[in-house]
């Protein structure tokens, strides 16, 4: 018995376009790469200086984006959980008392569009495997996925969450293996 296709021809063409994307490093100006091995993270965010905040059941850390230098590390899980808001949308950074927005598997959603036209999203052309797509929207005759880059996620696997920093200078992707960050020249 033949299976009836429920997707439209437009949807099938879009799926084919998504499946034809090759995974690679992001285009210029996204030239700085930082990989942070951190198994078990469930939320992340940015402090006021746009350092990376990673939160897991074994504590939290703060890392500088371009150098990858760890600035803080707290290993007390109970203390870390006490710093998370009841709705899992904010984290009170103990060292500075900053209340930062967080996103992730047990948190909110990241920033997916910069003021100057960069967009990031997670798609599933090979479901259940996630693909992160970076695209520049401010082009003449823009077409979805026409010039998009599927980012090579390296050691990240499973569910993926992503978002830009508030300034749009950094892009973070988090997954089961930790976090992958790309930064651009200012």
* Alpha carbons 53 and 170: distance in angstroms, whole number: 13
Which pair of tokens denotes residue 84?
């998370």
pTM of the model: 0.92
Q: Is residue 10 included in any domain, yes or no? A: no
Residue 142 main-chain phi, psi, to 5 deg: -55, 135
Q: Is residue 35 included in any domain, yes or no? A: yes
List the chain pLDDT tens, one digit each, 186 residues.
557 889 999 999 999 999 999 999 999 999 999 999 988 999 999 999 999 999 999 999 999 999 999 999 999 999 999 999 999 999 999 999 999 999 999 888 999 999 999 999 999 999 999 999 999 999 999 999 999 999 999 888 889 999 999 999 999 999 978 999 999 976
Q: Is residue 137 included in any domain, yes or no? A: yes
* Alpha carbons 47 and 182: distance in angstroms, whole number: 17
Q: Is residue 88 included in any domain, yes or no? A: yes
* Alpha carbons 99 and 154: distance in angstroms, whole number: 31
Q: Is residue 7 included in any domain, yes or no? A: no
Q: Is residue 15 included in any domain, yes or no? A: no
Q: Give the pLDDT score at 158.
A: 87
DSSP string, 28-41: TTEEEEEEEE-TTE
Q: How many domains does the chain have?
A: 1
Q: Give the pLDDT score at 121.
A: 97
Q: Quote the domain boundaries for residue 136.
A: 23-184
Q: Give the pLDDT score at 186.
A: 65
Q: Is residue 5 included in any domain, yes or no? A: no
Q: Is residue 11 included in any domain, yes or no? A: no
């Amino acid at each position: 018995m033949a299976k009836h296709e429920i997707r439209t021809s437009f949807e099938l063409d879009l799926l084919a376009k998504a499946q034809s994307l090759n995974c690679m490093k992001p285009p210029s100006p996204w030239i700085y790469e930082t990989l942070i091995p951190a198994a078990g993270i469930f939320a992340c965010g940015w402090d006021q200086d746009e350092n990376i905040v990673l939160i897991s059941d074994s504590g939290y850390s703060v890392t500088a984006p371009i150098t990858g230098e760890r600035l803080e590390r707290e290993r007390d899980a109970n203390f870390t959980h006490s710093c998370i808001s009841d709705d899992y949308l904010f984290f009170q950074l103990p060292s500075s008392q900053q209340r930062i927005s967080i996103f992730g598997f047990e948190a909110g959603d990241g920033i997916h569009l910069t003021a100057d036209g960069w967009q990031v999203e997670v798609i599933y052309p090979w479901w259940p495997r996630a693909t992160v797509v970076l695209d520049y929207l401010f082009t003449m005759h823009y077409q979805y996925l026409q010039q998009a880059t599927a980012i090579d996620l390296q050691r990240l696997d499973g569910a993926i969450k992503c978002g830009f920093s508030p300034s749009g200078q950094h892009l973070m992707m988090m997954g089961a293996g930790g976090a992958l960050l790309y930064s651009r020249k200012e």
